Homo-oligomer: A and B are copies of this chain.
Amino acid sequence: EAPAAAPAACPAAPTVAACAASGLTEFVGVCEFGNTQGLVIANLDQAIHEIMGFDKKYRSLGIIGARTGAGPQIMAADEAIKATNTEILKVELPRDTQGGAGHGSLIVFGAEDVSDARRAVEVTLDNLPKFFGDVYANDMGHLELQYTARASKCLTTVFGAPEGKAFGLILGAPAVIGMLMIDAAVKSADVDVLDYGSPAHGTSFSNEVFITVSGDSGAVRQAIIAGREVGKPLLAAWGQDCPSAHIPYI
């Protein structure tokens, strides 16, 4: 969740090596945002179904994984759930050392048909750059803001977001910054706080504090913007600006 530099659009023009990987029928693509990769498995082996506890009706998997970033990938996967006939089977948040103060991610879609699984991975990769737009990072940490007017099943699974309602994420790292951001956010607008994360609660020990909020679309946006406004000067307080990783969308 902390890319310091804004990479090129995603999916990137494939390198020679990426072309080699695409010789594997399971390879869907890579994205420089968060060093994300997407794969598909047409017919998962029964032994893997069993140890991982996946319902066997989902014989095809779509898989998204990243070194850096969980929020953007989860948001993009939520768009994919809306657009395809798939379900979320697993969302896990590694504490990856490439991710600065935040998480990496592993997201598994289940589908009865491999074309659905592949489509879910493609939609996720296509939407990923957008959701790095309100990630602001420097060497000291990062802010992450996310917004959707209509949450779907990925956000329900991960954050308990009410389906179909506006949803927002307000996050600061290091954690001290997040504490002020979440207070400013809830003071600014009438939103429902769904849950919070901190180093020892709802994270994999990442150095982040965040809340997830739901409610009226305008209120959710207002809370997010209020959090962002106090977070920026705090993250810059050690002396570095904190630019957007891509193009702000909120």
Contacts and interface: CB of A to CB of B under 8 A. Distances in A.
A92 B234 contact: no
Contacts of A211: 48, 51
B174 A66 contact: yes
Interface in A25-72: 26-27, 30, 32, 35, 37-39, 41, 44-45, 47-48, 51-52, 61, 63-67
Interface of A: 15-18, 20-24, 26-27, 30, 32, 35, 37-39, 41, 44-45, 47-48, 51-52, 61, 63-67, 90, 92-101, 104, 106, 108, 140-141, 174-177, 179-180, 182-183, 186-187, 193, 195-196, 198-201, 203-209, 211, 230, 233-234, 236-241
28 contacts: A15-B238, A16-B239, A17-B240, A18-B237, A21-B236, A24-B230, A24-B233, A37-B176, A37-B177, A45-B186, A45-B187, A48-B186, A52-B196, A61-B179, A65-B175, A67-B141, A67-B207, A90-B198, A92-B198, A92-B200, A93-B205, A94-B199, A94-B208, A96-B174, A96-B206, A97-B101, A106-B207, A205-B205
What are the 4 tightest A-B residue pairs by CB atom distance, in nearest-first order? A65-B176, A94-B207, A94-B199, A21-B237
